[in-house]
Structure 1
Amino acid sequence: MTLMKSWVTSANSADALFPLNNLPYGVFSVGNDEPRCGVAIGDQILDMAALEEAGLIYLDEHRAFDLPFWNDVMELGPAVWSKLRISLQTMLAEGAPHKAAIEPHLVPLADATLHMPFLVAEYTDFYAGRQHAQNMGEILRGSPDLPDNWLHIPIGYNGRASSVVVSGTDIHRPNGQSKPIGADMPIFGPSKRLDIELEMGAIVGTACEHGTVITVEQADAMIFGYVLLNDWSARDIQGWEYQPLGPFQGKAFGTSISPWIVTKAALEPFRTAIPPRETQLLPYLNSTIDGLFDIELEVLIQPAGAGRATVLTKTNYHRMSYSSAEQLCHHASGGCGMSVGDLLGSGTISGPDRSEYGSLMELSWAGRDPFTLDTGETRTFIEDGDTLTLRGAAKGDGYQIGFGTCTGTLLPALKFPD
């Protein structure tokens, strides 16, 4: 597929993150206005609430866009999702007859404040990147051997929906218990090994009831879209608490997502196969669909006061060993109901080379190998004032499907009252 031309000229550049091929969904406000649904096109946002008010778009008997979330649109189902996308591409295409009516409802992206694009019902994070799992095994256990179950199921844990925040939200260094090497007792205080994890997030757009099961193909059809996801991690807190029940406080203080939902439809031209498996999955997880996407990803770090950011890593979503559809299928396989607005974190995305590692835990090898930034400073883990940024895009023929950025600045830990 090649670039689709729009009468919004800023969408027609090969460097544009939001061409007509993309049209991601977000929530925005300008000034003191209430947040409402919008669609990114070039350097503009199409005000969907205003478009609906003017009678230029209609989806349901109830207002679907004058809301600070896209959940109501998701609930209308895949057929409506497709209809909406076709309508938007038609009205924004080069030569569209209704340009004069639509153009007044464009808002400069630079003037807008972006908000959470959907209400997060539940949040589940997976551990589905093979290279990351092998690296963590080598770091923590001295062996890259995978756990016995890893090749058979997408391992995950249920996180905190309340901790999911939109890009640009500052994150406080968490307090918690940890147990220093050689200490007899644990200590309580700010995490000293604060990390990030480069992930993709899949958003469930249609529900399945408690007590039902779904196939991988059905799960794929349930996914509305994708966001960039940074699962901030307190490695020292997590290391003390995670046995035997898994992550808790070390993962409960912040998960950042990008503000634009890139629809699955926009990513269809970039579908790619899952890497070859050495072990056949059990029948319920078998599928013929290509469940991953060719999305180039990178992480940058910028210390407080620094004039430039350093690229820490560059990798690709197709490095994963389990797709979001497989993860969703497995999640529901025991009868767990899935809700509109459920968020599934892919797990840390790492490639085979150090330049592709998706966490500082890997990049510094648990703090044993400090790395140098472009500013000349060194890091092992994140320091207060550092800003971390995730970027991603699927690259087509003369265009790209961009996600925007997923950023967060680390603030000092909160102090307990005396």
Structure 2
Amino acid sequence: MTPFLDLPADSGFGLHNLPYGVFSTRAEPPRCGVRIGDHVVDLAVLESHGVVGVAGAGRQPVFNAGSLNRFMALGPDTWHAVRSHLQELLSVEGSPALRESETLRQRAIVPLADVTMHLPAEIGDYTDFYSSRQHATNVGSMFRDPDNALLPNWLHLPVGYHGRASSVVVSGTDVTRPSGQQKPDDDAPPVFGPSKLLDMELELGFFVGPGNALGEPIPMAQAGRHIFGFVLVNDWSARDIQKWEYVPLGPFLGKSFATSISPWVVPAAALAPFRVEGEAQDETAGNPEPLPYLRQAEPRALDLDLAVALETEAMREAGTPPEVVARSNATNLYWSPEQQLVHHTVNGCNARPGDLMASGTISGEAPGSYGSFLELSWRGTRPLDLPGGETRTFLRDGDRVVISGEAVRDGRRVSLGEVSGTIRPTAS
């Protein structure tokens, strides 16, 4: 496939990608679009002209909406049909309906620089997992017993907790430093104030498609049909608040103040060619075999290169580009998205279109591949050196974190874009 638009040869937003998002312009309110190169294709315009449509959708528009939820709910057969049609419309070899209509092109193709991106979905529920073995091992080693870092359940099920959907924000949204109770001195009462150990977390998230009815679990054989697409996630964390509050019920105020996601949802179909075998979940690797409902025959892992960059206020003033502080890969996840979804619904819990599920921090074995400052600085004992003589253990006000990701194989590049956020002082 060759796009009729002028794209760089190494673009991660070519016809093999076509991620979906929600955008607005000065003249028009939020609606659904597809990114190709540095352009956004307005799906609401194509829908109104009958160029792109959804069979059986009736009179209710699918794309002239402020979220992708209606489209997510329609399922993989519809997703495939629309995606294939868009590839035809945007290629030199395909349909001329868009390519040869100057009027339609002017209305439907918008420069990326002229748009404002919004959350891609109305997120009813958000769940955060704990699916990276190395991250769980690092945290267990720091706070419990290095010889028994993983808790007994970790290799048997995808550990997770229910997060806060109302504070999920789109990339570029500032993050206010949270306040809360902390207990820096074990022998003194707790204190209240701004978090002093503010952190980021490198994660991969996915959006649920049709979902399931209450009381009807999603089986492994059908799990892939319920995953619409993927985004990058930064699940910000106030480590000092979390440490004091999490016993006995788990994360609360230390996590619920903000979760940032990238604006473009990369279709699951676009990442299918990058599936690889993950760590073996059987005795050959010294691991227990999961219970039957969690066993996954097809390749579980996604070969996605991930990076975390930090830009301080001093770097910004000096014109110094963000410094990459960590590089990881989604193959460092032990539990797959399908296993996360299946386990989430095995008790009959109903997942709904637009629900967001995140992987948990993704860390590799090397220190430079750790997905949080908690690990990169090893609980604050090993400061990171930055340009200009600065150091960091945790995040300071004015720091900007940028997470990026892409998959590359056989000359094909699929980008997940980036998710960024800047820390602002505690609200007075």
**Per-residue deviation, residues 149-169 of structure 1 (Å, max 9, x unmatched):** 000010000000001100000
Report the equivalent of 2:422: 409
Tell me the residue number matched to 2:93.
Answer: 95
The partner residue of 1:276 within 258, 262, 280 is 280
Task: Tell me how far apart the structure 2 counterparts of residues 293 and 144 of structure 1 sit (CA, whole Å).
Answer: 29
Give the direction of change, closer, same or farther, for the CA distance of 1:144–1:264 in structure 2 (3 Å limit): farther
Residue of structure 2 in register with 1:259 after alignment: 263
**Which whole-Å CA distance do the structure 2 matches of 1:183 and 1:349 have between them?**
34
Q: 1:120 aligns with which of 108, 120, 123?
A: 123
Aligned mates of 2:279, 2:388 — CA distance in 1: 37
The amino acid across from 2:24 in the alignment is S
Contact kept, 8 Å, 1:28 with 1:112, in 2: the verdict is yes
Deviation of 1:94 (Å): 1.7
Q: Equivalent residue for 1:290?
A: 299
Alignment-mate amino acid for residue 103 of structure 1: R
Residues 75-110 of structure 1 deviation map (CA, whole Å, 9 limit, x = unaligned)? 111111010000000111123322122522100001
Q: Distance in 1 between matches of 2:255 and 2:27?
A: 33
Match of 1:130 in 2: 133
* 1:28 to 2:41 alignment: no
Q: Deviations over 1:120-154 (max 9, x none)?
A: 11000001100001110111124152100000010
Question: Counterpart of 2:391 in structure 1: which amino acid?
Answer: T
CA distance in 2, matches of 1:94, 1:396: 23
Q: Which moved more, 1:187-196 or 1:213-222?
A: 213-222
2:2 and 2:93 in contact (8 A); partners too = no
Q: For 1:38 and 1:375, how far apart are their aligned partners in 2?
A: 41
Q: Which blocks of at least 5 consecutive residues in structure 2 are unaligned?
A: 282-286
Partner of 1:52: 47
Alignment-mate amino acid for residue 330 of structure 1:
H
The code of the aligned residue for 2:66 comes to P
Match of 1:233 among 221, 233, 237: 237
1:389 to 2:387 alignment: no
Residue 83 of structure 2 aligns to a residue whose secondary structure is helix
**Letter paired with 2:279:** P
In structure 2, the partner of 1:333 is: 346
Opposite residue 40 of structure 1, the aligned amino acid is R
User: For 1:226-280, what per-residue CA distance to the aligned partner results, in whole angstroms no more than 9, with x for missing partners?
Assistant: 0000000000000000011000000000000000000000011001122123111
Q: Are 1:136 and 1:144, in contact at CA under 8 Å, matched by a contact in 2?
A: no
CA contact (8 A) 1:296 1:315 kept: yes
- Of 282, 290, 312 in structure 2, the residue corresponding to residue 303 of structure 1 is 312
Contact 1:134 1:144 in 2 (8 A): no
1:85 aligns with 2:98: no
Gaps of 5+ in 1: none
The amino acid that maps onto 1:396 is: R
> What residue identity is the alignment partner of 1:22?
N
226-235 or 45-54: which moved more?
A: 45-54
Aligned partner of 2:43: which letter?
A: M
Q: Among residues 13, 17, 31, which one is paired with 2:12 in the alignment?
A: 17
Q: In terms of mean alpha carbon deviation, does 293-302 or 177-186 score higher?
A: 177-186
After superposing on structure 2, the runs of 4+ consecutive aligned residues of structure 1 that deviate more than 3 Å are none
The percent identity for this pair of structures is 47
Separation of aligned partners in 1, 2:174 and 2:221: 37
Q: Alpha-carbon deviations, 1:169-200, whole Å to 9, x = none? A: 00000011110123421011100000011000
* TM-score, with structure 2 as normaliser: 0.94
Alignment of 1:38-187 (within 5 A): 38-59=33-54, 60-61=57-58, 62-96=60-94, 97-98=96-97, 99-101=99-101, 102-104=104-106, 105-143=108-146, 145=148, 146-187=150-191
One-letter amino acid of the counterpart of residue 57, structure 1: V
Structure-to-structure mapping, 1:236-251, within 5 angstroms:
236-251=240-255
- Please name the residue that 1:353 is paired with: 366
Count of aligned pairs: 410
Matching residue's letter, 2:340: Q
Offset, 1:32:
4.2
Q: Residue 13 of structure 1 contacts residue 399 of structure 1 at CA under 8 Å; is this kept in 2?
A: no
Higher deviation after alignment, 142-151 or 110-119:
142-151
Match of 2:122, SS state, is coil
One-letter identity of the residue aligned with 1:13 = A
In the superposition, the TM-score normalised over structure 1's length comes to 0.96
SS at match of 1:352: coil
- Residue 291 of structure 1 deviates from its aligned partner by 2.4
Shift of 1:400: 1.0
What SS does the corresponding residue of 2:135 show, helix, strand or coil? helix
| Structure 2 contact 75–225 (Cα < 8 Å) conserved | no
Letter in structure 2 aligned against 1:275: E
Partners of 1:70 and 1:205 lie apart in 2 by 10
Distance 1:291 1:91 in 2: 32
Q: Deviations over 1:306-345 (max 9, x none)?
A: 1221101011001100001101100111111111111111
SS at match of 1:250: coil
**How many Å apart are 1:388 and its aligned residue?**
0.2
Q: Aligned-residue CA RMSD in angstroms?
A: 1.2
Deviations 1:278-306, CA, capped at 9 Å, x for gaps: 11111111120222211100000000141
Aligned partner of 2:197 in structure 1 is 193
